[in-house]
Amino acid sequence: MKKLLAVAGIVMMTASGATMAAGDAAAGKTKAAVCAACHGANGISMIPMYPNLAGQKAQYIENAIKAYKAGQRGGPTAMLMNPQAAALSDQDIADLAAYFSSL
């Protein structure tokens, strides 16, 4: 039982460490200038087909951008998003996610 609790503790510390390695919202704000053309200056899109990013959960934004980067998302916006996402590093994606989720 003690071994099980020790392993569970290590898993929890590892998971919380991953959470602590979240993106930098200030860096994300700088990188988000390109996103503003479709998603709005403050993450609120004026174009109905483009989603609002302001206030979205960071993990959702990260997953969506990574899926575009990997070519796993389709639809009419994929033609625009795939090349945008392909140019982003994992840190860029984390930073953008931190920024938009903070709005």
Average confidence (pLDDT) per 10 residues, the chain, 103 residues? 47 44 92 96 94 97 98 93 97 98 97
User: What is the value of pTM for the model shown?
Assistant: 0.78
Locate tokens 């980067």: which residue? 69
**Which one-letter amino acid corresponds to residue 66?**
K
Q: Give the closest residue to 29 by CA, choosing from 91, 79, 97, 99.
A: 99
CA 93 to chain centre: 5
Which domains can be identified in the chain, with CATH numbers?
A: 24-102 (1.10.760.10)
Q: Is 12 helix (H, G, I), strand (E, B) or coil?
A: helix
| d(C-alpha 103, C-alpha 89), whole Å | 22
| d(C-alpha 23, C-alpha 27), whole Å | 8
Q: What DSSP designation does 47 have?
A: S
